[in-house]
Structures are given as C-alpha cells and as structure tokens.
Amino acid sequence: MPTPLQRETLIFIVRVWKEYLKSPQPQMRGEVEVVNSKEKQYFADLDELENLLKRNCYTDGEIPEK
C-alpha cells in the first residue's frame, strides 16, 4: 500500500517597493520574510525573488532542474 504524501505549508511575506537612487528610473527592491523563522532576505529583481523562494522551498537547498 502506498504511503500517503506529506504536506508542509510555508508562509512568506513579500514586500516590494521602488527606490529612486541615483537615476530617474526607479529600481525595484524587495524583501522576503519567512514567517516561521522571521528570517528576511532581500532581492533586487524578479529572478532573485524566484530563487529566494525556491531555495526556501527545498529542504536540501538544491533547486531541481526544470
């Protein structure tokens, strides 16, 4: 008989804002907070956000190939 799948819920708070640094074009910045651990990680573009979320979702830290 197959073993039932386990489910783990991860909760993140994602904050995104625009910064006007030394250029007239705003730069996107953001922060991901892992609710359970209160750990905060920062990102500067959507690719970094995706990688942060993936790293936090896989327990061994390795992101599987697509």
Indicate the pLDDT class of residue 2, thresholds 50, 70 and 90: confident
Any domain includes 36: yes
pLDDT higher than 90, residue 13? yes
Q: Kindly tell me the burial class for residue 53, based on how many C-beta atoms sit within 10 Å of its own C-beta (0-12, 13-18, 19 or more).
A: middle
Indicate the pLDDT class of residue 38, thresholds 50, 70 and 90: very high
pTM: 0.72
Domains of the chain: total: 1
Cα dihedral 49, 51, 56, 59 in deg (nearest 10) = 170
Any domain includes 1: no
Domain range spanning residue 42? 12-57
Any domain includes 62: no
